[in-house]
Each structure stands twice: as C-alpha cells, then as structure tokens.
Amino acid sequence: MIDIEKHQTIGQALLVAAQEYGPNPLIVVPANRERSYLPEGAELSYQQVAQDVRAWMDRYASAGYGVDKRAALFLENRPEQVIHKLALNAIGVCGVPVNPDYRAAELAYLMDHSRVDLIVSISSRLREIEDALALASHRPPVMLIDEARASVPPPGQPAKDRTPDSSTPASILYTSGTTGRPKGCVLSNRYELAAGAWYAGRGGLVDIREGGERLYNPLPLFHVNASILSFFCMLLTGNAQVQSDRFHPKKWWVEVRQTRATIVHYLGVIIPMLLDQPATTEDRQHHVRFGFGAGVEPQLHQVFEDRFGFPLLEIWGMTEMVRALVDNTPPRQVGTRAFGRAQHGLDVRVVDQADQDVANGTPGELLIRHSAKTPRQDFFSCYLDDEQATEHAWRGGWFHTGDVVIRDDTGMLHFFDRNKHIIRRSGENISAAEVEALLVAHPLVKTAAVLAVKDEVREEEVLACVVLNEIDGHPVDLGDHAGIARFARQLFDHCHANLAYYKAPAWMVILDSIPTTGTQKIQKHRIFPAGTDPRQTAGIIDFRHLKKRHTASRPSAST
C-alpha cells in the first residue's frame, strides 16, 4: 500500500501508485448501451490515468491555475470527473464537485459561495450553467472538455507560486445544514488520503487485498463515499473502482458480474430494491466478498445475506469525517443497526443535551475526535467562510455529529435517530430549513414546517406542513378540497422548479395553524399527535409520483 506519511499529497500518491501498479486498472466503467458516454465500457489503467492527469496538469498550470484556486467539476459520474480532480489537486487547485440534479438557483449559490475560478463541464450541461450564471453574482469562466480544441480559460489572477502540501484543500463538498443553505466542507489532501488508508486498514471482514479488488460503487462522485472513501482506498492499494453512472436496480447485478466486482457499496434504499428483483439461480453467481454501506433495514439484513451470500457491513461516517466506523469483526450484530466501536484514531462519546456522558443503553448524541492530543487530525478543515459554525460543531474539543446513537455494554454503537432537522432520502441529506425558506418565499404561504416522514423505499421523505395567507382578505376555506389541492400543487411545482427534485415535498398538508412557543418558534413535535403516522392525516396530499428528475438531466431508472 502507498505510504501516505511519505507521499503526503494526492498528486504524489497518484504518481507513485502509477509506478507501483502501472498496468492494473484504476477506473472501470461498466458497459451500458443506453449511456451517452463509453457505451461499450472501459478500463483505465494507473498508467493511462496518470498520463491523462499529467497532460491536464500542464494545461491547467500553463493557464495560471495552482494553489489557492478552485474549480467546479460538473462532469456527472464520468471518469473525467476523477481525472480532472486528480489533475487539479496535483497542482494545488481545490475541486468543487457539482450535484447534477441542482437547479439554477442551487448552482448559482454554489458558485457564489465557493467563488470558483473555473467551471469544468460538458456541452450537454451548458444551458444549466448559463441559467445559473444569470442568477449568480460571481460568474467564473466555463470550459467544456468535450469541445474540439477546448482551451483552459485563465483565472482572474494567476495562482500563487506555491507547492501543494498535505493541508492544501483538495475538495469542497456541500452538505445540508440544519439552519438553511448547504455548508461547504473543506477537505484537505491529508483528509482524502487518510480516509482511503483508514478503509484499507480496517481488517477483519474488510480485507482489502493489494491489487486484488474491484470495488463497484454506483453512488455519485459529488459525494464523499465514491469520490474519496472508496476511490482513495483503491488508489492506495493498487485496486480498481468500478464507477457506474448511477444506481439502476435492474442493471446492478449485470454490472457487478460483468466487471467481476469483489466489493460493493450500498445505501439502505438499494437493499429492498435488489430484494424485489425476482430470485434466480444466478443470485450467488458473483465474486462479491462483502458489501460496505449504511442504512439497511434491520429486518432485511439477514434476508439479503442469506439470499446473495455475502455480508453487508454496516458503517457510520459523514462528510466531516469519513474514516468510517464499521461492524466488521465476527460475531457481527446483524439486523440491529450496529456500526462498530471506538478505535485507535477515533475516540467516541455519547452525551445528553448538556454534553454530559450518558449510561450505556441510553440514547445520546454521538461525539467524535481523533484523540485528546490531536482532536481534529484527519477531519474536515472547516466549513467554508463560517468559522462560527466550525467552532460550534467542535465545542468542548469534540465534533458534534447530530446523530443519536446507543452504546451497548460491549462498546458497540447502534444508530438510533438523526438530527430532526435533516431528512435522509435515498442517501441524500435534505435541509428542512432550505425547503421551508423556499415555501415561505411564495406569496401563498404564511408559514411552513418541513419534517421527515418514514418511506418504505427511500428511508425518509419530505413532508411540508403549510399555513396559507388570506386570499383577497379572507381565510382560505380548508373545506374546499379542490381549491386546497390546487394551491398545494402550485407550491409543489414551485419547490420542484427551484430545488433538486429529491428535495421537493413528497407529502403536503394545508393547516389552519402550526404550534409555536411563546417566542414564535415552531414546535414541530406538536404538529401531529405522538405515535401517529402523519401520512394518514386527513387531507394530506401525496406528490411522490411527481418527484422526477428534471428533464435536463439524463434519464435513468434510479431512485
């Protein structure tokens, strides 16, 4: 395995890996005739990737890019997303991956907040970029890599003459916060390499064989899972990342078998979809040794393992710290939401609201750090331009995850609940505050509260509770079901047009009031009676069938 203490930057690690593992495949793209790129599939060796990276390094550096510059990468799940990130990182440029489901306003926010010096994209995305630039105050140049003779437009000012080091930012990943707009997590070269090295060193059932693994990851490259956790584990160990365009239930096993995958990454939403596929004699005809992921429903955990013949190793991690905890040592606690124990290099506490430790068996917030001496080592560097949020998350010398867990008497940690301001849908973190802000901006809306509700397929869905303004000086008649349905549809369309499709309300209920405190803070826990399913509320409207990817994105069979 490449020693990250000797080779401390992404550029150094890549070039050493190319020397060590040259002919081995690094990036594998499954064949897919329906895809707009590489329909026959491809295997790119370490040597090929390094050659392409060197060529782009020269072009970016010659144009004036280097340390202190940032580039947005809007290249979907194509291998170019990885190649350009590596090339930019190698000369000290920070990559800012773009969620391809972003709408114009969301993309404009990303450009304004991250103040990227360049947008790297493809021709099919140009219209979306132009729409976002029209809304943004910061308007960086655009380079379309699929254009003939694509030239690299220079930054406004040339980069500083500095060499990247382990602390140089490599990525800014946007993650939903609890109080509004997404926060930009700044991740250093050290963070990304340490994440890969940690994964490679877990041992037990997570046995990463040097030069012997092909890791199938259908998750998006704008997320920390595929772009950092699995990719750098593979790069440092001479292995290959099999990168699908996205998750397709009917193509999963075809691609896994075709690419001879030995490891698969999953989210909880993937498991029931695979179990829903008809059982066949080929269910165990694969090379998969283990699955690595989070969120499998407890009642499906053993069912899946019995049918397909490999363990699903449940993990816990987050963008701020993706050196995942994992239940990887037999006897595992299958079907209990267990995800591992504290380990050397990752201290853990479970605390109450006053940050006091709770007894084993008692739910509490998960706090983590590297160690008492170096609490922030290998964590995210900061939230971009938000020192207050960074220090608040690190209060008392521990990072506050916002996740509620239970620790049993063996030290095993079990996931219990999430911060109630975050909705977790099919692996996406959705800020309730962001959806609320958009709803309240609509002239029909007086106030709104957005909550998570259970979803049998996607884990959680978005529920919007709305109080309408008076119409022509009169309160809205809640008994006018046709009128209420019409108003609700207007609000859904407003959200769907201005947010990534998955953030739009799946359910909406129009109420005459929403409970508040004496200081007018909304009390979400009082909207519905305890123990009831909000989806059964009279008058609630189901918009799940309308939550579709926007037509600007390529069609798929994904969730």
Q: Give the pLDDT of residue 188.
A: 98
Average pLDDT, the chain: 93
- Does residue 305 carry a pLDDT above 90? yes
DSSP 4: T
Q: Domains, the chain, ranges and CATH?
A: 10-319+332-339 (3.40.50.12780), 340-419 (2.30.38.10), 422-546 (3.30.300.30)
Q: Give the pLDDT of residue 555.
A: 37
CB 476 within 8 A of CB 468: yes
Structure confidence by residue, pLDDT tens digits, 441-450 = 899 999 999 9
Structure confidence by residue, pLDDT tens digits, 487-516 = 999 999 999 999 999 999 999 999 999 998
Q: Grade residue 180 by pLDDT with cuts at 50, 70 and 90.
A: low
By C-alpha distance, which of 497, 494, 430, 505 is closest to 174?
430
CB 201 within 8 A of CB 209: no
CB 540 within 8 A of CB 509: yes
Packing angle between helix 126-135 and helix 104-114, nearest 10 degrees?
A: 70
What whole-number distance in Å separates Cα of residue 346 and Cα of residue 371? 7
DSSP 555: P
Q: Grade residue 28 by pLDDT with cuts at 50, 70 and 90.
A: very high
Q: Give the pLDDT of residue 420.
A: 63
Mean pLDDT of 111-118: 98
Mean pLDDT of 261-276: 93
Q: Under DSSP, is residue 88 helix (H, G, I), strand (E, B) or coil?
A: helix
Q: Under DSSP, is residue 459 helix (H, G, I), strand (E, B) or coil?
A: strand
Q: Taking the model in full, what pTM does it have?
A: 0.86
H or E element: which one contains 367?
Answer: strand 364-369
- Does residue 273 carry a pLDDT above 50? yes
Q: Give the pLDDT of residue 29.
A: 98
DSSP 518: T
- Does residue 438 carry a pLDDT above 50? yes
Q: Give the pLDDT of residue 557.
A: 36
- Does residue 521 carry a pLDDT above 90? no
Q: Give every CB contact of residue 120 below 8 A, 6+ residues apart in sequence.
A: 71, 72, 73, 74, 75, 84, 143, 145
What whole-number distance in Å separates Cα of residue 60 and Cα of residue 24? 27
- Does residue 144 carry a pLDDT above 90? yes
Please identify which residue in the block is written with the tokens 């990817």: 549
Q: For CA atoms 42, 46, 49, 55, give the dihedral sign.
A: negative
What whole-number distance in Å separates Cα of residue 230 and Cα of residue 220? 12
- Does residue 14 carry a pLDDT above 80? yes
Q: Give me the residues paired with residue 451 across strands.
A: 463
Q: Grade residue 552 by pLDDT with cuts at 50, 70 and 90.
A: low
Distant-in-sequence contacts of 470-473, Cβ < 8 A, 24+ apart: none
Q: Grade residue 416 by pLDDT with cuts at 50, 70 and 90.
A: confident
Q: What percent of the chain has pLDDT over 90?
A: 84
Structure confidence by residue, pLDDT tens digits, 40-75 = 999 999 999 999 999 999 999 999 999 999 999 999
Q: Give the pLDDT of residue 177.
A: 53
Q: Give the pLDDT of residue 518.
A: 60
Structure confidence by residue, pLDDT tens digits, 318-333 = 999 999 999 999 999 9
Structure confidence by residue, pLDDT tens digits, 452-474 = 999 988 989 999 999 999 988 88
Structure confidence by residue, pLDDT tens digits, 205-240 = 999 999 999 999 999 999 999 999 999 999 999 999
Mean pLDDT of 360-389: 96
Structure confidence by residue, pLDDT tens digits, 125-143 = 999 999 999 999 999 999 9
Q: Give the pLDDT of residue 520.
A: 65
Q: Give the pLDDT of residue 437.
A: 83
Mean pLDDT of 355-381: 96
Q: Give the pLDDT of residue 554.
A: 42
H or E element: which one contains 383?
Answer: strand 382-383
What whole-number distance in Å separates Cα of residue 218 and Cα of residue 190? 25
